[in-house]
Chain A
Amino acid sequence: MTSSNGKPFGSVKNLLKRAEKILKERKKLKQEIRVCAGPGCIALGAKDIHKELCKQLDDHKKELEAAGLELNVTLSEKCTGCHGMCEAGPIVTIEPEGTFYTGVKPRDTKKIVEKTLLKDQLVDPLLYQLGHHRGGGKVKHYADIPFYSLQLRVALRKVGVVDPTNFDDFLAEGGFQAFAKAIAEMTPEDVIDQVEKSGLRGRGGAGFSTGRKWRSALRVKEDRVWLICNGDEGDPGAFMDRAIMEGDPYSVLEGMMIGAYALGATDAWIYVRHEYPLAVEHLQMAIDKLTNAGLLGENILGTGMTLNVRISRGGGAFVCGESSALMRSLEGKVGEPRAKYVRSVEKGLHDEPTVLNNVETFTCVPAIIDKGAEWFASMGREKSKGTKAFSLVGKVKHTGLIEVPMGRTLREIIFDIGGGIIDDRPFKAVQTGGPSGGCLPAGKLNLQVDFDTLADAGAMMGSGGMIVMDDHTCMVDVAKYFINFLIGESCGKCVPCREGLYQLYDLLNKITNGEGKPGDLETIETLCHTMEVASLCALGKSAPYPVTSTIKYFREEYEEHINDGVCRAGVCPKLIVYHINDDCNGCEVCRKHCPTNAITGEKKKLHVIDPDLCISCGICKSVCKFDTIDIMSGGKIVSRDVVA
């Protein structure tokens, strides 16, 4: 791949010319083979696959040359960002056909080159198995896989498509057309108009209108406006922003450049989560490249625009992703939220006007400028336009990174795209919005997901995490789990959040231990209310959601724990006992494995667990090959592991 000759472009025209030239060259390409180099696939050996692939292509070329023949087709190979279906990795795709290979190993590359690239034949064992948990048919192209066909990618449009380290590749895929258009044909006012008309709402949590935010910054504009891109992504299990920063850094920057043009900002920060070194590396490469190409720095494309972008590596705590804490952290102070009823567009970083947006938000902007506000607004719902990326995890068959138009139902996301629940167990709940999001029950599966429907249902959009749970999940235990996570993340500045989380955990812990008492639920609800209305920042304000939503939809489970000492999911160790049923054939395996010698019984005779010695570790159940061990709670069998 050629790259620009090192000279800055100097004008919009030169940039566009360059893009045209690359496109022309690309037209000569017959096929392109893409190796997914997202974190999942890298962990599974994607780099070796790529190396081996390059070698295969090289060998092939040499062979032809030795035979005095010319390579009649031009093939190219590249590493891209995450394809989203990490569980099927390492993934290799071939364009333009859209051939989709999964679970690829380095040694498979020879076959891929010889069969698929040179003879147009498929390598059967590498094809994706439809419904592979059930044994469905094989699929040739990713367009035929529901996981992909039901998605609509805007923010992720170039992730998995471009080589994130290659500027020319980005240009070839239509990159910087939007920036060129903005800077050459539009006034800053026009840009803000488009963003506002598109209906784009912030993808980082609160869903504030991006256009309105920008406009209000314009109104207070003083000498300097800071622009900040929030790439802290602290939600455990979320990796949308990571995938974008690692897989398509130029789009993030292009969005920021358009924002900077609209706002007259000359200085920008990208705040990247500490654990994302590859994102930092790719973003820094992109910044350096753009600076050399005259797209960042001073007098950008000869227009007089100045923009310097710097990267800051996050402080580590979840709360550092909160906008005022993030700004404090950028100022070199402790990353604690700032308690001020002053908007950051007026007084943000260094008390100067500041516009802060999320990675996904910025990444949507070039698409909006490119295709128009109407196009973006035509997707989604009345008050939530466009698409949203989600990370789908938990007890769902296809976990991974997805993007859908706003308004898709939870059912479509979980069952059609996600393929349903692992082992086809009953669906119990889905938790949306990160650690402080809410849990929605089966009755809400038809909910059309957008900012407002989720909030109305007691959950939230957050940054787009979705954790799917099956019937083996105890909702009290889930609430306790998230509260425990949040205790570790609360900055501890304000009383309701700091002390409230501590006491919430204590109350929930007692309930799961069978020490709950009547009135606990009311105490919890009273406490949650004060946390919601009186905490200083959104972490404390939303921290009760895992509790309030589970009380709202699964109250009877709390009551059973408190009143009857029953955990119907068979999860809470203090409320369950393990019991061997009559089907036991006396194989002795469980007895040998029990760490506390709670099991007695002779060979070929029924074994018995002494409940006083049993510590509910569950080892016996996991080793019993005959599935004769039941979990009992309140004298009833609560779990016989038969798949529905």
Chain B
Amino acid sequence: MSKTKTSKTVHLTIDGQNVEAPKGAMILDVTPGLGVEIPSLCAHPGLEPFGACRLCVVEIQKPGWDDWYKQLVTSCLFQVEEGLKVWTNSDEVRQNRKVVLDLLMARVPASDVIRDLGNQYGVTKTSYAEVDTEDTCIMCDICVRACHAIGRDAIASMSRGPDKYVDVPDKDACIGCLVCANLCPTNAIPFTANDNGKRRIWGKEFDLVTDERSGEVLGTTEYIEHVRKRAEDKGLLCPEDMKHESARVKRYGYAQKLSHVADVEEPIEEVK
């Protein structure tokens, strides 16, 4: 959290530490550097907070409340305020995170990410009925929001309740940028980044474009076209990326990185 001179700040305590934070920031955003750890699955700095996983819960107390009274809130959505007290690791907080992880372990037994997190909270085996599935999607909606943020809206969450799932209803809208797969906290979206100049994701195959000079893979044809158009239309990809991207577009006629929305590195680990 960088503080600018003009931004108003508020004072709060987080696990007893005095913290000065910019007004309007969410609790989760001000914790880095404090040595406290709040787990989160559906939050991403480049996306609007969503509040789906409920893992980032913390206890708070506002000034003037009775001493015994605390409220459980999701830190990704709760704005800091003057005099606020925050507990990020109390018994109540840990207990509820534990149940959430216990539930997720039953939902996606195949996910190492969830299993590791569960272990950290003392859940080695789920207390609930395991769903028989290899899928590791936890419906955090990050892929949906990321795809929306880059301007494609190819991914949507479908159905409701326990039947909810994500899909790409309109395959034409997908440009094979891999933002979704790279941001997915549980690596639930299978893809092949580069198979002899081809890329596969969401059941669709793309041709890859390579920079002639450097031999660097620039992205799919559709992706490059999308970035070019977006840069032309709006002169930007997303607010923070504007300068960086337009420079790239000018130089190469394409953009490769959507560094703010999603740190798209070429994937390190491929998931099938």
| Among B72, B107, B138, B162, contact of A534 (Cβ-Cβ < 8 Å) | B72
In contact, A501 and B100 (Cβ under 8 angstroms): no
Instruction: Check A317/B160 contact, CB under 8 A, given A339-B49, A492-B139, A503-B128.
Output: yes
CA distance A409 to B77 in the complex (A): 41
In contact, A492 and B161 (Cβ under 8 angstroms): yes
> Which residues 124-148 in B have Cβ within 8 Å of A in the complex?
127-129, 138-139, 141
In contact, A492 and B54 (Cβ under 8 angstroms): no
Q: B210 interface residue, CB < 8 Å from A?
A: no
List of A residues within 8 angstroms of B53 by Cβ: 494-495
CA distance A87 to B175 in the complex (A): 60
Most buried by A among B127, B138, B159, B162: B162
Q: A298 interface residue, CB < 8 Å from B?
A: no
In contact, B54 and A534 (Cβ under 8 angstroms): yes
CA distance A535 to B55 in the complex (A): 11
In contact, B128 and A495 (Cβ under 8 angstroms): no
Cβ contacts A483-504/B at 8 Å (1 or 0 each):
0000111111111101111110
Q: A533 interface residue, CB < 8 Å from B?
A: yes
List of A residues within 8 angstroms of B99 by Cβ: 496, 526-527, 529-530, 534
Smallest Cβ-Cβ distance to A527: which chain B residue = B99
Pairs of residues from A and B, 5 with the lowest C-beta to C-beta distance, nearest first = A339-B51, A492-B164, A530-B99, A499-B103, A502-B162
Smallest Cβ-Cβ distance to B92: which chain A residue = A533
Instruction: Check A530/B139 contact, CB under 8 A, given A492-B164, A502-B162, A506-B129.
Output: no
| Among A506, A527, A529, A536, contact of B54 (Cβ-Cβ < 8 Å) | A536
**Shortest beta-carbon distance, A512 to chain B, in Å?**
15
Q: B249 interface residue, CB < 8 Å from A?
A: no
Most buried by A among B104, B159, B164: B164
Instruction: Check A491/B128 contact, CB under 8 A, given A530-B100, A534-B96.
Output: no
In contact, A489 and B100 (Cβ under 8 angstroms): no
Instruction: Check A341/B57 contact, CB under 8 A, given A492-B161, A501-B161, A503-B128.
Output: no
CA distance A339 to B265 in the complex (A): 31
Q: B168 interface residue, CB < 8 Å from A?
A: no
Contacts from B to A (Cβ < 8 Å): 49-55, 57, 72-74, 77-79, 92, 95-96, 99-100, 103-104, 106-107, 127-129, 138-139, 141, 157, 159-164
List of A residues within 8 angstroms of B79 by Cβ: 341
Instruction: Check A530/B160 contact, CB under 8 A, given A495-B52, A496-B103, A503-B106.
Output: no
**Shortest beta-carbon distance, B245 to chain A, in Å?**
28
**Shortest beta-carbon distance, A483 to chain B, in Å?**
11
Q: A523 interface residue, CB < 8 Å from B?
A: yes
In contact, B164 and A498 (Cβ under 8 angstroms): yes
List of A residues within 8 angstroms of B106 by Cβ: 499, 503
Beyond the given A341-B73, A492-B162, A495-B100, could you list 16 further A-B residue pairs with CB under 8 A, ordered by the A residue number?
A339-B52, A488-B161, A492-B139, A492-B161, A492-B164, A495-B54, A498-B161, A499-B104, A499-B128, A500-B103, A501-B162, A502-B161, A506-B128, A529-B99, A534-B99, A536-B74
Q: A340 interface residue, CB < 8 Å from B?
A: yes
Per the CB 8 Å criterion, the residue count for chain A at the interface is 31
CA distance A557 to B237 in the complex (A): 61
Most buried by B among A492, A495, A530, A535: A495
List of A residues within 8 angstroms of B49 by Cβ: 339
List of B residues within 8 angstroms of A491 by Cβ: 160-161
**Shortest beta-carbon distance, A528 to chain B, in Å?**
10
In contact, A339 and B127 (Cβ under 8 angstroms): no
List of B residues within 8 angstroms of A500 by Cβ: 103
Instruction: Check A490/B95 contact, CB under 8 A, given A339-B74, A534-B57.
Output: no
28 contacts between A and B (CB under 8 A): A317-B160, A339-B51, A339-B74, A339-B77, A341-B77, A487-B162, A488-B161, A490-B161, A491-B161, A492-B164, A493-B52, A493-B141, A494-B54, A495-B52, A495-B104, A496-B100, A496-B103, A498-B139, A503-B103, A503-B129, A526-B99, A529-B99, A533-B72, A533-B92, A534-B54, A534-B72, A535-B54, A536-B52
CA distance A494 to B100 in the complex (A): 10
CA distance A487 to B53 in the complex (A): 18
